[in-house]
Structure 1
């Protein structure tokens, strides 16, 4: 799978500038996966919406995203919501209408994913608590 120019630019910006800054913000929502190669925790800033014991979000590059590859290798994840960590199990939901899902999520995240996304994929995390 090769990345197009938009994906390369967006990914480089996120990995080198946006994500390191956002990970330091105490109330930024984070997804923690286990690296499929390294076995180390990998934290990705994102946004979504909690509905009861379920957390929903949309991946902008679908199965090309490293955190989606990590989820496929090990679906056990943690999500930091409002500064508190929650364990859960992530599920890829390709049958969900990702565009409709984006309309139900916080606007700031939806704008970025809609603007830069090339292969939208809904992800549901069933939280343990």
Structure 2
């Protein structure tokens, strides 16, 4: 974790559940949206299930742990990413938008994902991926 308040028990439980149960299952669902970053230390591809929406040539989503999220830290090191949308991979550049209002942004995104982000999120951060195609 990065600077700021130490992780709460809720954060630790959420991270454990996502890392060890939910994400491994969701990665194998063929139409789950995935964000693929490059590990900042390992250099290996890292895939994380995300919820969001494509609007034009952009994919928008909100990170529930903001700059503390491992994938956000990977984006800071290398913003080139891939997004799997409806079973098809797209290349793009991820841009964290700390000045964007994540609560307002979530009004434009799928409600199902927003429930989890609102329930467990402690440091919301809007991310926009500028798609190459």
With the length of structure 1 as denominator, give the TM-score of the two structures.
Answer: 0.98
1:17 matched to which residue of 2? 21
Describe how 1:17-96 pairs up with structure 2 within 5 A: 17-96=21-100
User: Once superposed, what is the RMSD of the aligned Cα atoms?
Assistant: 0.6
Ranges in structure 2 where 5+ consecutive residues have no aligned partner: none
With the length of structure 2 as denominator, give the TM-score of the two structures.
Answer: 0.96
Ranges in structure 1 where 5+ consecutive residues have no aligned partner: none
Deviations 1:64-102 (A, max 9, x none): 000000000000000000000000000000110000111
> Where in structure 1 do 4 or more consecutive aligned residues deviate above 6 Å?
none
- Count of equivalent residues: 129
Following superposition, the deviation at residue 4 of structure 1 comes to 1.2
